[in-house]
Amino acid sequence: MRVFKFGGASVRDAASVRNVARIIREHHDTGPLVLVLSAMNKTTNALESLCRAFMEGSKGEMLRIYDDIRDRHFRIVEALFPSKGHPVYQSLQQSFYQLYYYITEAPGDNYNYEYDRIVSTGEMASTRILSAFLQEEGMPNQLFAAQKLIITDAHFRDARVDWIVTEQSIREQLMPHLRRTSGPGSSPPLVITQGFIGGTPQGFTTTLGREGSDYTAAILAYALRAEEVVIWKDVPGLLNADPKIMADSILLENISYQEAIELSYYGATIIHPKTLKPLLSRNIPLRVKSFTEPARAGSLIDGNDTSDHLVPSYIFKFKQVLVSIFPTDFSFIAERNLARIFADFARHGVRMNLMQNSAISFSACFDHDQIKTPALLRDLRKNFTVKYNTNLEMITVRHYHKACLANLLKGKEVLMEQKSRTTLQMVVQPAR
Ligand code: ASP
Ligand code: MG
């Protein structure tokens, strides 16, 4: 049994939905398949704006966004299902009616709760469309509501999975379908569910954090002890650098779970960071493949670490702040001062991307945030002298021994640097 995850870009229009169907037909001959689908391209962003307008009471704006999202979905459906009598029209209409009735009532005061209730419409709609289209194309399938599969706490917008209950509910609901033996000539069982969405035991809809569909695929694979997960993307696989930043980026053919965890920890954005640990714990390989070039092998993440060191990887973070903190008395930087500094960072929810200390100062680099940065600096200044630089870059190089650093740093000034055996991290002032 395998789990396939398709992201929003793979179902951006009617032609791409057809492409997904083609991929499934071509790859669905070796056993049962579980499909996890995101919302159609940009829908989640649009629903976020809708939610904001709803909460602010900007009714005109809200309805304009609503119409736009709804129309985009119906245009795709019209292109896929020429017969207006097809039941998919009604089922999609129902998703949008539910949203409409919801947003024409007054909002409650829990933003995150309302967010999950509204934003989840994207995945509810996309899965209805894909399920109906596959059916139409001769690929019978069963659609399951993720709210009843992935059981979470009520931490809306960033819900935490109850692993024990979730594993049980996934197995109870999906196994009877996945075990069904197919008749001669018919394809193996196929089930579909929404990525990114979960539900509380009381039945409230939650979400797992932006880009959380990868994580959904991993949760399902973990519970079902899948033999493999495939994430289908609009890139050929995992690359050693963001191709928008480094034109000559190359494909990582095979890296270990540990390496992938490290890369995503340092800021590589290709797979959702929470995805890897559940897979690692059950030794389930993860493939990242291109939905535009499905015949290519893509990248493989598994237990094999023998290739990890072969290719250096580059991760760039922009809008970095580097702060240096000095005790105001004659004390050195030691545990008491550090405890205070860490408490300030923790209280403001600011994660240090890199830190270093000397006898008289402590320096840390973090992502700039309009709200958090000034609040943190204000608090630090209560106990310390504080200096800082903004608009810096942080460059992380894994396996830097093989890297060409001269090119990377051309015209840039290195303000802070740290090395381990495998990882080099630098905070730099970009070339002006
Ligand atoms: N649709 C959600 C998002 O755009 C989840 C996902 O795509 O993984 O964040
Ligand atoms: Mg996405």
Q: Which domains occur in the chain, in start order?
A: 2-233 (3.40.1160.10), 313-429 (3.30.2130.10)
Q: Is 198 in the pocket of ligand 1 (CB under 6 A)?
A: no
Query: What pLDDT is attached to residue 329?
Result: 87
Measuring from atom 7 of ligand 1, which residue has the nearest CA? 211
Q: Is 7 in the pocket of ligand 1 (CB under 6 A)?
A: yes
| Ordered mean pLDDT values, 10 residues apiece, the chain (432 residues) | 96 97 90 96 97 96 98 98 96 97 95 97 98 96 98 97 98 95 78 98 97 97 98 94 91 96 87 93 97 96 96 96 94 91 96 94 96 96 96 96 88 95 96 80
Atom of ligand 1 nearest to the CA of 213: 8
DSSP 108-134: -S-HHHHHHHHHTHHHHHHHHHHHHHH
Taking the centre of ligand 2 as the mean of its atom positions, its distance from the CA of residue 199, in whole angstroms, is 19
Strands 413-419 and 423-429: antiparallel
| H or E stretch at 414 | strand 413-419
Query: What pLDDT is attached to residue 66?
Result: 98
Taking the centre of ligand 1 as the mean of its atom positions, its distance from the CA of residue 207, in whole angstroms, is 10
Q: Is 212 in the pocket of ligand 1 (CB under 6 A)?
A: yes
Atom of ligand 1 nearest to the CA of 45: 4
Taking the centre of ligand 2 as the mean of its atom positions, its distance from the CA of residue 13, in whole angstroms, is 15
Query: What pLDDT is attached to residue 310?
Result: 93
40 and 12 Cβ atoms separated by less than 8 Å: yes
Enumerate the β-bridge partners of residue 4.
35, 230
391 and 430 Cβ atoms separated by less than 8 Å: yes
Query: What pLDDT is attached to residue 97?
Result: 97
Atom of ligand 1 nearest to the CA of 123: 1
Backbone φ and ψ of 199, nearest 5°: -150, 150
Enumerate the β-bridge partners of residue 375.
none
263 and 313 Cβ atoms separated by less than 8 Å: yes
Q: pLDDT tens digit string along 302-349? A: 999 999 999 999 999 999 999 999 999 888 888 999 999 999 999 999
Ligand 1 pocket test, pick from 43, 210, 233 with the greatest ligand atom count within 8 Å of Cβ, gives: 210
User: DSSP label at 236?
Assistant: S
Measuring from atom 2 of ligand 1, which residue has the nearest CA? 211
Atom of ligand 1 nearest to the CA of 7: 7
Query: What pLDDT is attached to residue 110?
Result: 94
Q: Is 195 in the pocket of ligand 1 (CB under 6 A)?
A: yes
Query: What pLDDT is attached to residue 182?
Result: 67
Taking the centre of ligand 2 as the mean of its atom positions, its distance from the CA of residue 341, in whole angstroms, is 36
Measuring from atom 6 of ligand 1, which residue has the nearest CA? 211
Measuring from atom 3 of ligand 1, which residue has the nearest CA? 211
Q: Is 38 in the pocket of ligand 1 (CB under 6 A)?
A: yes
Q: Is 189 in the pocket of ligand 1 (CB under 6 A)?
A: no
Contacts with 286 (C-beta within 8 Å, 6 or more apart), sequence order: 218, 228, 229, 230, 231, 260, 271, 275, 276, 279, 300, 301, 302
One-letter amino acid at 213 equals: S
> Model-level pTM?
0.91
Q: Is 121 in the pocket of ligand 1 (CB under 6 A)?
A: no
